[in-house]
Every structure is written in structure tokens, then in C-alpha cells.
Structure 1
Amino acid sequence: MSDEAPLASLSLTHVHYDPSDPISYLCAWLALVPQGLCVVYATLVWSTREAEVALMFAGQLLCEALNFALKRLIKEERPRRMYGKGYGMPSSHAQFVAYFAVSLALFLVVRHRPATPTGQRRRNHTPMSLPERVAWSLCGLGMAAAVAWSRIYLNYHTEKQVLVGSGAGRGQRGGLSGWLAWALDLPPARFLRARDLVVEEDLCQAGWEKWDDKMTALKAKKGLKNQ
């Protein structure tokens, strides 16, 4: 056994924190937010096939690639007391959550139009109002701020590294181009059932309409039998 190479650990979720400090413990959990968001991205892309979600995820991965390049270009070390490996400028956590929060806010407040083209609400659909969409946007931005602050509290990054990371994440977000409708009509996209409905619909709306229509028809059928 002594001749075997030593084993290495996969430190994807390995976080240093002070076990005697409850705030430090909370910050350790906040450090896992990017990993959790990746699971959410993958689940939504597979289950909804929405182009908007897939493009946002693609932008998120590009944001990570940009962070990888910037760290090796700037080569600024982490704070002295940090035992983590790699460079610290800019903060990848801050950049990740800043991109997500800004993308979510822009989508909910600017792009998302859940009402029907005629301006009439459907029988079985109550779209989110603008105040509700603003509230969810603020929740996303608050989450991003908490994650970014936790990196400073845990001594993984300096304030400057977090601010630069947040700025890079905000700047990475770009608009969608007009080729999306053309791309979604291509055979591979049609085979994968890709679509772009979430701008006008809620993610759960199509399935809910079918279910609500089915239950309405079933109740009507039972009512006729009871007469």
C-alpha cells in the first residue's frame, strides 16, 4: 500500500468555515448556491426545453469561462488566511450569482409578458403582476449580494475581488438575437422539442391548462350523469 499514489479529494463543495461561528456556517451553505443553480438549470433545460432557459445557461457557462481566463490573466492571490487553491481575482462565486440575478431580473421585468396578446386573462391562468415580478427580481439580487458577501466573510476573497467579480457577471449578460426563431425551426431543435414560450407563458402554464381542462370536462361529465 505504501507504493501506491496518494488519493486526491474532489473539492467541488469543500468549504472552510469557523464551526464556532453560526454566520460562518451559514456562509458555507451560501457557497453552494452556484452548484444548486447548475442543478436547477439542467433540470429546467431538460424538462421544459425552453430556449430562453438554455441560452441563459449557456451564458452562465460562458461567464465561468471568462472568470477562468481572467483569474489566470490577472493572477491576484487570495487573502493571506485563505487555504484554498487558485487565484482570487475576480471572485467566481460573485460573478456567477451576479450574472444569474441580473439575467433573472431583466427577464422578469423587461422580457416576460405573461398576459395574452389581447390583454385578456385566461380562465385558468393568473399571470404574475409587475410588482410580483419586481419582488422576485429583488429576491434574486438579494441572494446574489448574500453569496458575494459570504465570500468576504469566509476570507476566500477581498472586497475588491468580489466587486470585480460582480461587475464581470453583470457585464456578461447580453440580449437575444433575432436568429432564435430561425434556429428553433431547424430539424435538431424540432427533434428536441425546443421552444420559446416562457416569454409569454409561465413555465407550468401549458401543463396546467391541460390538467384544468381535463378536470373541468370530468366534473361536467359527472354533473350530467347526476341529473
Structure 2
Amino acid sequence: MDDTPLASFSLTHVHYNADDPISYLCAWLALVPQALCVIYATLIWSSREVEVVLMGLGQFGCEVLNFALKRLIKEQRPPRMNGKGYGMPSSHAQFTAFFSVSLTLFLLLRHTPLPASPSHTPFSIPQRLLLSTVALICAAIVAWSRIYLNYHNPQQVFVGFSAGALSAVVWFAITDYLRRNGWVDWGLDTWAARELRMRDLVVEEDLVAPGWDRWERKRRDKRVGKGQNKASESVKKR
């Protein structure tokens, strides 16, 4: 038999207390960054929205920063820790903080929805505030879960959350500069962006509005066509 020792692929390998329901829930929360990565990839591929691409690039840069900080600080995880590698700062806290703060800044400062139409009702300010609050609370819960599972101590989680939030603010300022000075429009006019069908609609309308409008027009035209056909048949019978 082959006695070669095997390693564990720890990307989705989470230790938790099987007798503790909260620990079990925290184990699921540990998969939130992976789920968000899938969401990023899905939205980028399906919507081709430059705002989503910019947010994804910022998220990737935040992860690179976390990788560098861990190897610069070299602080160990808590005693009897359940993870490997350095613990300062928490990557889960930093990841979710960047996402939630970026979403909040977009909804409250950048999103300028078009007026309501028969098929589209934009989010109001209270609704956007509620969604932003929910996102921030969820990020805080994921960060807390890392302490509960004993993967990080409170200081590591606090630094990670702070680094993610600060990264989101800095990246938002950078992208705001790129937008105001025409660099985003310039990028959208390049051959590569046009070949990839990149667009910039989500700043003014939600992701489903354009497709929904087209769908409603198609169904309306279809109903009108059926009505005209029935009228023609009725005339012929007479």
C-alpha cells in the first residue's frame, strides 16, 4: 500500500462542534466568501456590467492585501486553533467587510435610479438603507463566527474587518475618480470591452429592469397579435 501522507484541501474544510447548533451554523457561514465569489463570476458573465467588474477587481485586490498582511505580521492563530496559516488579519472578516461596505457605498452614493415606469419601480432610499444595513449585519455575523469557531481571536477579526472596510472606501474613491474623469467610458469604448458586450446600466437601473421591459413588450405585442387574429377570424365568419 502507498504510505504517502495526504494533505487536506482546506478551502471548504471547516472544523466545528457537531454537538453545538451554533457551531454548525458558523461552519456554513465560513463558506460565505466562496459563495460570493460564485456570485461575482455569475453576475459578471451574465450581466457584463462594468460596475460589477470593478467591484470584483477591488475584492480581488483586498484578498491580495490580506495575503500580504498575514505574511508581514505573521501572527499565529489562537491556542487550540482549528485552522492553519497565520491569523492576523482574518480573511473572512476582511472579505465580507469589503463586500458589504462596497455594496452600501454603491446603493447610497453611486446608484441614481431612473424614475419609475409601468414595469419598473426603483428602490427608495429607505429600502436601500435597509438592504445596506442587512449586508453590514451579515458581514459582522460572519466575522463573529470566526471567533466562535476558534479560527481567530477578536483582535484578528477587528483588524480584518477594518482593513476590508477601509479598502472598500479607498477603492470606491478610486473608481469614482475613474468615472468622473472619463476613464470608465474610455474603457467601455475599447475593442475588447465591445467584443465582451460590457455595459454600464446598473448605476441607473437594477439588473432585471432592461430584460423585464423587453419581456413585457414582447408579451404585450403577442397579446395584441392574438387579438387582431381573433378579430380577423370573426370578420371572415361573418
1:67 is paired with a residue of what secondary structure? helix
Tell me which structure has the larger Cα radius of gyration.
Answer: 2
The counterpart of 2:203, out of the listed 196, 199, 206, is 199
Q: Return 5+ residue gaps in structure 1 as ranges.
A: none
Q: Distance in 2 between matches of 1:224 and 1:125?
A: 28
Q: Return 5+ residue gaps in structure 2 as ranges.
A: 232-238
Q: Distance in 1 between matches of 2:208 and 2:223?
A: 22
2:105 is paired with a residue of what secondary structure? helix
In structure 1, what is the equivalent of residue 234 of structure 2? none
In structure 1, what is the equivalent of residue 134 of structure 2? 139
TM-score, normalised on structure 2?
0.90
1:137 is paired with a residue of what secondary structure? helix
Q: Which digits, 9 at most, give the CA deviation of each residue in 1:62-120, with x for residues without a partner?
A: 101000000010011100011311010000000000000000011111111112xxxx4
- The number of aligned residues is 222
Matched residue type, 1:141: L
Q: Which digits, 9 at most, give the CA deviation of each residue in 1:119-165, with x for residues without a partner?
A: x4222111111111111111110110100000011111111100000
Would you say the 8 A contact 2:82–2:149 is kept in 1? no
In structure 2, what is the equivalent of residue 26 of structure 1? 25
Q: Distance in 1 between matches of 2:50 and 2:120?
A: 22
Q: Which digits, 9 at most, give the CA deviation of each residue in 1:163-198, with x for residues without a partner?
A: 000000011122211310001100000000011110
Deviation at 1:48, TM superposition (A): 0.4
Q: Distance in 2 between matches of 1:83 and 1:164?
A: 19
What pairs with 1:74-153 in structure 2 (closer than 5 Å)?
Answer: 74-115=73-114, 120-153=115-148
Q: Distance in 1 between matches of 2:214 and 2:12?
A: 40
In structure 1, what is the equivalent of residue 235 of structure 2? none
Task: Give RMSD over aligned pairs.
Answer: 1.2
Q: Between Structure 1 and Structure 2, which shows a larger proportion of helix residues?
A: 2
Task: Decide which moves more: 215-224 or 127-136.
Answer: 215-224
Q: Distance in 2 between matches of 1:63 and 1:54?
A: 14
Using the aligned pairs only, state the percent identity: 61
Matched residue type, 1:129: S
TM-score, normalised on structure 1?
0.94
In structure 2, what is the equivalent of residue 14 of structure 1? 13
2:197 is paired with a residue of what secondary structure? coil
Deviation at 1:207, TM superposition (A): 1.0
